[in-house]
Structure formats: C-alpha cells, structure tokens
Structure 1
C-alpha cells in the first residue's frame, strides 16, 4: 500500500497449501500440549473441547496472522508464561542465535530431548571478567581455563564483547582482556550500532515488541545481537560504535578464538567454559562461572578458589550471562557454601517424576557472606542455583531479574514456518517460588547503566561490595 493512501489494507488470500499448513500447525501444538505438558490434567481444562472450538477458526482464517492469533489463544488457555507461537520472521532471528548456543541445557530428567529455553545460550558468558571493581595491587588468582591445547577447527570465533540491550541500545558491559575489541580500544559503556553495515536497531525493535512483557526479553535480545558477532576464527567483521564521547567509531576486527576450556558432552557440539576468580578490594573474593558445564574442571577450579578464599571477608559469585547447563552441577556447587545436611534448592516436576535438587553439603563449606550476581541473560541452572541459595537464606542476590527460563523447554518449527516453544516441566524453589516466567528477583536491584560503565564501575559488583561488611555473622538463616 502506498504511504498516505486511505484504502484498506489488502489481505492476501491463503492458498490451499498454506491453509493446510496452518491446520497441521494447530494440530501439532494441540497434540504436543496434550502429550507432553507436565500436568496431564492441564489444570482441569477441557482440552478436547478447546480443539473442537478453535480448530474451525484456523480453517476459516483468511491470513497467517489470523491463524496464529487462534493458536496463541489456544495456548493462552493454559495460563503458562513459557508457551509461545513465534512468527516465522522472528523465529528465524531467534533460531540463528539458538543454533550454535543451545548446546548445554540438559538438566537431569530431560530424557533424550534437547532442552532449549528459546535462544537461551549465553554467548556473553564467553567473555572474561573485566577489572571493574578490582584492587590492582591485590594478588590475582586466575583459572588456567583461558586457553587449552588440542583445539579443533569447529570453534566459533568472536571479538570479545559482552553486550546487553539497555534503553534500546546494545551496550558493551564487558570487554574480554586481550581480545580483538580490547586491542582496538573498545571499553565498557560503548554502544554498538552496526554490524557489517547493517543497523541493529531494527532487530532490537522487532524482538522488543515480540517479547514485550516477557521475562525472556533481555535474554532473547542479548543472544540475537551477540550471535551476529560470531563467525569463523580469523574472519573479519566491521563494527560501527559510539564511544564514551558519542563519537562514531568504525572498526574492522578479526574474530579470535573465544577464551575458556573447550569441553564436550556425548555427541553435543563443543563449547568453551570459563571458571575464574580474583581478589577485589577489601579482601573480597570474586568468582565468575560462564556455564554449568564440564563438571571436573569447574569443581576443581571452584575448590581451588574457595581454598584460597577461605578467610575472605566475602565472596561474590557472578552468574550474569550464564545461560545454564547441567542441572546437577547446581547441587554440587551449592554444597561449597552450605554445611547443613538435608537442604535442597527446589524441585523439578515432570509428567513422570519429581527431581529434588538436593544440596551436597560439605563440613568445610565457606560460611562467610555470599553475594550472587544475575541478570536477564542468567537462565536455567543459573536460576535454580541463585534462586535456591536465595530461598535458603544463604546468599543475597544482586543485579536484575533473571530470564525466568528455569525449565527444560523446546522450540520447534511448525509446518507453516512459525516457531512453537513449550516447557515440559515445572520447577519450584524450596520456599515455594515458581521461577518459570518470573525469574529470580534480586534482593537489591543493580542494573547496568552507561554512565557507570564509562566511569569504570560495575553497579552490581559495587552494590555487593557495599553489602558484605554489613553481614552480621556467619549464619545460615535468612540474609536481608
């Protein structure tokens, strides 16, 4: 339609093939909910009646938008936050990020299904901890997982940027030390505006609208932008950025291998995992875990870190950008901070069983103040760990609400090209909090902002550092 024309918008008539694809999509969604929802009774909903009521409307739909609206109405009857029909164009953007990132989230009880929480895999977790909040004169202990030998040719390259969408802009929140971006002078607080000549604002606008009101919004946006920075090691990429003075900087960078230890699980693609630590000012220890993956390496590094930090005034555990991983690791890691036996983080409920996430308590567990940092790109096992430790009163949480994607979930492409996401389990923290669709709500909000980042400050780390001296004693009752 020509701009300014007052004639009504034409609706293109569906072909018979398109109409059949819409009906096949409706039937697939309906059967999937019937067969795989964790509650076989669906909360008392007459699911057969829903099908009888709504299927004729899909058959009569004059456009894909009308058919999609009926399918959304159907899953809306469930009252669940993580069941969604994703338009084909948006699904393509999401699926591009998911393809290489959705590698790890196989929590216990998932069976043989690949668990994907939309495009929940944290590419941001590839980047190493920045020096924000660190005492430069303090001794530093780092993981040796920054690199490893025997790398294959299947590694994906990146430029070392960790971004979050803040106020509609792709804001750099961390720059990996020694990365192509760091060498080029990029700093936290810069804004990314173009990748290889393509503005990213339209991507942000489209996904922001589609995920408005969803707890997954920050996660989807983070992944959609970050995915476009990835490519083959050695491949160039052109970026346009705004520096701290809002001057436009045009950079050509060469993608390098991401840091971390390369790990594999079964037939899953390889993924790089970072577990590193350092001392911040005031004798406060800092640990960052990029993914709950590679248990032998991660547990060895965490044990080593906490052995050195046994007399630390407090410990900050950074899970921002950690998209999850192996669910059982939350049970082992929680035991590094809990001595009391018989505690649990929460319970996952599937159609066939219940899985209790028990804390593997240790008599030598660290008992000082524990601050956990999270954000909207913290998902799945990160939420199980952070929410569970918060519910037990063993940690205080700082940052922004998590993705609310604690459950194992699937995204499938429907016959009509749209995407369908569904969860097949429920998860409840020990205090009764349902994380799915809500996320872990921090005890103290500390969102990133450009002014602080440009000044070299990390609001979440600074908030945690301020809290630690106020911790009354080494105790396991509720911390507030």
Structure 2
C-alpha cells in the first residue's frame, strides 16, 4: 500500500460499514478565529499526565517522521506559505508531552491542519486497524461517522441495517457527543460484547443516551450491482478499492447497449488512482487523456484511460450517469469530472467539495499512518478541482428527511434522464465547461 497514489478523503470514519480510514483532519480555513480558539482549547488539555519515557520517545519518532515527510515530500515545496520550522517549534513540545496516542495525534493533526489540505492527515493505530479490516468480519456498532467543518464534530452518515446502532434507534444526521464519557476520537476501539455508552445530539439539539453492545458482523461489499430498475443497472461503489475495474468490466460484459449504467459514488471517499483510471477505461477510448498531475518537482504527468476494465478491449457504449454528493471526494470527484468533460456521462446530485489532490500513504513508527498530498491535479480542460469541486448537470439535492424515509430523488432523476432519447439527455456545452 505504501508509496501508491491515492485520492483519499480523510474525514469519514466507519464503525461498522468500513467505508474509509478514520482520521482527525479535514479541510481547514486558515485565519478562522473560531477554529483557532477551539483548537487552542483542545490542545490545552494535552499533557495533563506526564508521559512515560518510552511514550515520549515514541512520540518524538512519530512526530519527527510526519514533520520530515511534509518538509521533503509535500507536493507544494512552499507548503502553502506555512512556516514549517515555526510549526515544529510550536507543536513538537505538545506532541512529546502527549500521554497517549489520542493526545499525540491531536497535536500532529493540528499541525497538519495548517496546510489547509483535506488529504493531509495522520491516522492513529486504532483507525488504521479499522481501515485494514473494513471488509472483514468484526465487532461493530454499525454506524458511519462523517466529520464536518467544525472541529471534533462527527455526524452519523449511515446506519447499518440489523446492527446494534439500528436496534437502538440511532438516526442519520445525529452527532456523536461522547462515548463512555469521553469525546469521540478515531483512537477509540470497540470489542465484541463490551458495552459502550453513547451520547448523541439530534438536529433539534436534544440529547439521546444509549448503550450499545458491539456484535460481530460480516463486512460490507465494496461494490454492488442492482438491476431491479427496468432498463438501468445501478452500480454502487463504496470506495475505489483493489479490483474495482475488473469487477466493473465483468458487470458490463454482455450488458445490452441500450441499458443505462448509473455509477453511485455518493459518500465515496476515494481510494486508488489506478482503480479510477480503470473505471474511466470502461467508458472512454483506451489511452484517451483525461487529466494531468504535477508533483513537487513541477514535472507534469499525463493521465490516460489505460487501466484494467476486466480485460475489455473497447469502452462500453451504454449511456452513463454518475451520482455524487457533498461527501463524494477525490477519485469520486475526478471520475465524474472526466466523464462530464468528455461528454460521456451525466453527473447528477449535489456539488462535490473539491478535495482532489493526489496523495500517498506511509506507515508511522507506532502503527499509525500518514496520508500526504504528493501531486496536484487538473482535468484535461485545465480545470483545477481542488477547492472547486464538480457541479452536477442535474441538481438533485437529497434532504435528511428524504434519506431517513428511503427516498432518493437523485437516483430517480438519473433514471429518468437515461430513459430519455439520446438527443434530449446530451450535455450542454456550457455545462461541460462549468465544472
């Protein structure tokens, strides 16, 4: 896994669905007084208990590895204007004084937040273990958390049917206030049969307290196909993981050319760049240029549709629509952008957040993991999607009430669009240019 290009969103944490790695960083806006004040309060709690000598030495190794990786390998040699030496002087004493991995990773991620980069994050060992076991049978509570713009605010993005969270009545949109009396952090681990006390806050501000007992559940399927809609095949991709291109090619084999294909990339945090190339190879002419990436040295590398689409020699002729939302990031943004610019697919849903730098993961001395942007990315038309995102051809927002009720206006809009005659669903030129 190390050294391979990733396009990863680092603000999603799964406690049962295992969609993506947990992390303690998200896009930050520099100069935000409220955020800086909250960060200062959070860091003021660090080192209330002095660390053991062994802990302090490990803290130093982890912090120094992260600091040096950024200094030597971050895609922008100017580090977005951040004084990295000053950052070291500010945060290293806090990191070395951390009594446990929670305090250590809070201080490290507070430093990484200075880069204003949604990919730059350090995941603690517990979060790495969850990520690596995301599709395995394991003890879960059964909910996926999404981190918002406010620091340390995690919202329930999904609740897994049949899970302890579903049985307890946990609802989409609630925020997790505490677990066993402590604020939530990705370093928390759960175990089969060991009860956990949760406090959640609903959208009206009411507090809900419940006790869940994590239970063993099979891991979710990373890719699923649904042919229950006449004339349409819906392919849901939870994450751009290994084997996606081959799976997609197999699903397209033998599919009648008049059957519409819907790629559901909502709440997809991204993943492997190679798999994004493979998805595009399923729909674009082989070797067609779709983007350019530029690393720290400034050398531009052209990206082509040359991945593995299950051995297919030619792109699928089927009409295509891609579903996206505000939680579709990285590979789940560049894929619809490439199809949209090529006039090969309709994008339906909500504007994406614009978190599209190309990152790599590297292991840290304590078992944690650093995700760091190593290259910038622009589309074939020269559009830089970072901080800009992808604008749908068909806007179809989905309210919280609709999600709870199982209603899906974006899927309905995509199905309706693909069922129209080709001339009526063609992309307008101004929309193709308006990413």
Aligning the two structures, in what range does the TM-score lie when normalised by the shorter sequence? 0.5 to 0.7
Shift of the 160–29 alpha-carbon distance from structure 1 to 2, 3 Å rule, reads closer
Secondary structure of 1:281 counterpart: coil
Structure 1 pair 421–276 and aligned structure 2 pair: CA distance change class (3 A): closer
Aligned-partner Cα distance in 2 for 1:378–1:342: 25
Question: Structure 1, unaligned stretches of length 5 or more?
Answer: 1-8, 12-23, 65-71, 105-122, 127-150, 204-223, 261-272, 414-418
TM-superposed CA distance for 1:316, in Å, is: 1.8
The one of 204, 210, 233 equivalent to 1:250 is 210
SS at match of 1:424: strand
Match of 1:100 among 111, 129, 138: 129
1:233–1:276 Cα change, 3 Å = farther
- Cα distance in 1 for partners of 2:251, 2:296 equals 39
Aligned to 2:340: 390
> Is structure 2 residue 107 aligned with structure 1 residue 162?
no
Structure 1 counterpart of 2:226: 278
1:470 and 1:157 mapped to 2: Cα distance? 45
Is 1:347 aligned to 2:306, yes or no? Answer: no
Asked whether the equivalents of residues 156 and 176 of structure 2 are also in contact (C-alpha less than 8 Å), the reply is no
Partner of 1:110: none
Number of equivalences = 358
- The 5-angstrom pairing of residues 226-237 of structure 1 reads 231-237=190-196
Determine the structure 2 residue equivalent to 1:458. Answer: 408
Distance in 1 (alpha carbons) for counterparts of 2:202 and 2:354: 29
Name the residue aligned to 1:367: 317
What are the superposed Cα offsets for residues 169-208 of structure 1, whole Å, 9 maximum, x if unpaired? 86555443444444x2747646355554448xx66xxxxx
Q: What is the aligned counterpart of 2:355 among 404, 411, 414? A: 404
1:82 matched to 2:117? The reply is yes
Please give the alpha-carbon distance, in whole angstroms, between the structure 2 residues aligned to 1:459 and 1:192: 24
Cα deviation for residue 463 of structure 1 reads: 3.6
Counterpart residue number, 2:267? 321
Q: Secondary structure at the match of 1:317?
A: strand
The residue that corresponds to 1:35 in the other structure is 72
1:347 Cα deviation from its structure 2 partner:
1.9
In the TM superposition, what whole-angstrom CA distance separates every residue of 1:200-236 from its partner, at most 9, and x where no partner exists? xx66xxxxxxxxxxxxxxxxxxxx67x75x6334544
Residues 111-134 of structure 1, C-alpha deviation per residue, up to 9 Å, x if partnerless? xxxxxxxxxxxx7xx6xxxxxxxx
1:276 offset after TM fit, Å?
0.8
Write the distance in 2 (CA, Å) between the matches of 1:442 and 1:179: 33
Match of 2:18 in 1: none
1:136-285 to 2 correspondences below 5 Å: 156-164=138-146, 172-182=156-166, 184=167, 186=169, 189=172, 191=174, 193=176, 196-198=179-181, 231-239=190-198, 248=208, 250-260=210-220, 274-285=222-233
Task: Give the equivalent residue in structure 1 for 2:38.
Answer: none
- For residues 252 and 321 of structure 2, the distance between their equivalents in structure 1, rounded to whole angstroms, comes to 14
Larger radius of gyration, structure 1 or 2? 1
Determine if the alignment matches structure 1 residue 306 to structure 2 residue 252.
yes
Give 1:404 deviation, angstroms.
Answer: 0.4
* Equivalent pair of 2:289/2:302 in contact (CA under 8 Å): yes
> Secondary structure of 2:290's match?
strand
Deviation, structure 1 residue 287 = 0.9
Measure, in 2, the Cα distance between the counterparts of 1:308 and 1:249: 51
Secondary structure at 2:270 match in 1: coil
Q: Which TM-score applies when normalising by structure 2?
A: 0.60
Q: CA offsets, 1:351-380, max 9 Å, x none? A: 455443311385653333322223444333
Q: 1: distance between equivalents of 2:289 and 2:281?
A: 10
Q: Distance in 1 between matches of 2:223 and 2:335?
A: 16
When the two chains are superposed, the root-mean-square deviation of aligned CA atoms in Å is: 5.4
Give how far 1:336 is off: 1.7
**Equivalent position of 1:429 in the other structure:** 379
The structure-2 alpha-carbon separation of the partners of 1:457 and 1:309, relative to structure 1 and needing over 3 Å to count, comes to: farther
